Amino acid sequence: MDCVLHDLRRLYAEMEIKVSDPVTRFCETVVEQSAIKCYAQTPNKRNKITMIAEPLDQGIAEDIESGKISIKSPNKVIGKFFEANYGWDLLASRNIWAFGPDDSGPNILQNDTLPSEVDRRLLQSVRDTIRQGFSWATREGPLCEELTLSRMNAIRNGRFKIMEVTLASEAIFRGGGQIIPTSRRACYSSFLMASPRLMEPVYSCSMTGPADSVTSLYTVLARRRGHVLSDGPIAGTPLYRVSGLIPVIDSFGFETDLRIHTQGQATVSLVFDRWSIVPGDPLDKDVILRPLEPASAQATARDFVLKTRRRKGLSEDVSVAKFLEPELFASLKESGVLEG
């Protein structure tokens, strides 16, 4: 980036260019199953969709993104894959409706309704619109409302189960304008009731320098919420290599900091490695964040959510009531499940 800016300023444009502070994009996930079944009604009150959300088994998101399994495969192939690799029930595996937000997205929409309770013909007629609402929900996310484009997603590792569906018998009352936003609200409400967490991108870093700079490498990495995975000498040279992980949001200025502490003797390379859950509850209103003071470890998620929402001009707190039906919200407040 420094090289590009230098060329623009000195060789091509010959003008001063101001660069804004870098911005890190976050993802959202859940760590538990929804505390209750969450439903959403269409604006005309003629249809109702009930869902729950839960985390995906470890490895499923990566398998979907890498193409090991495709939603376009026959139902039998999808069923056998999840049954053999993750121990899923064969019937449940064959009722996967979509990956989201696109065909290689790291979230799953699953039809978990009972044939005896739902008119299958009516349910199939709204399958595509429910999937569109699911795709919309997983592309944005309720915590930071990170609007993403193309193949990017705001929610990761989420498994959304359709538990119950009540539909109007007349097709005119269950069109896309009614079902799509309702499906999105059902996804969001079940997501927020499943212990939502924030996820941040993490770099894999490889630092190289002389033996007497290793202590400085450890120090600089630790100050930026990073940690060392391995270190050792490079055969045939007087150099040491230290490998570790560092959150992307804490990596800005990392190379400059490293060179200062090692008198320019160390070099570093950064490559995206994974998504990692940020410590703390992003919805914990008891967390106190003071200006000009770094947030504690367990307040990090809350700090990131508030700062992201402020930057986008959104209200500071995520309103659960915005996505829950008024009757459901009132009953949850009365039972003590929700506060305020």
Q: Are residues 50 and 132 in the same domain?
A: yes
Q: In the predicted model, is pLDDT for residue 150 greater than 60? A: no
Judge whether 94 lies within some domain: yes
Q: Provide the whole-model pTM.
A: 0.90
Judge whether 11 lies within some domain: no
* pLDDT value for 321: 86
Q: Are residues 190 and 210 in the same domain?
A: no
- Would you list the DSSP string of 282-317? TT-TT----TTSPPPGGGHHHHHHHHHHHHTT--SS
Strand pairing report for 158-166 and 48-55? antiparallel
Please identify which residue in the block is written with the tokens 């502490």.
Answer: 261
Binned at pLDDT 50, 70 and 90, residue 189 comes out as: very high
* pLDDT value for 340: 55
The answer to whether 250 touches 179, Cβ cutoff 8 Å, is no
Q: Are residues 207 and 226 in the same domain?
A: yes
Q: Are residues 154 and 42 in the same domain?
A: yes
* pLDDT value for 9: 82
**pLDDT digit string (tens) for 62-89?**
999 999 999 999 999 999 999 999 999 9
**pLDDT digit string (tens) for 6-48?**
888 888 877 788 888 888 999 999 999 999 999 999 999 999 9
**pLDDT digit string (tens) for 238-264?**
999 999 999 999 999 899 999 999 989
Q: Are residues 141 and 183 in the same domain?
A: yes
* pLDDT value for 152: 67
Cα–Cα nearest to 299, from 281, 317, 318: 281
Binned at pLDDT 50, 70 and 90, residue 4 comes out as: confident
* pLDDT value for 319: 82
CATH of the domain at 271: 3.30.70.240
The domain total for the chain is 3
If you average pLDDT over every residue of the chain, what do you get?
A: 91
Q: Are residues 173 and 244 in the same domain?
A: no
Domain that holds residue 138: 27-194
- The secondary element (H helix, E strand) that includes residue 217 is helix 214-222
| Token pair belonging to 299 | 């307040």
With a CB cutoff of 8 Å and minimum separation 6, the contacts of 121 are none
* pLDDT value for 148: 60
65 forms beta bridges with none
Binned at pLDDT 50, 70 and 90, residue 226 comes out as: very high
CATH of the domain at 103: 3.30.230.10
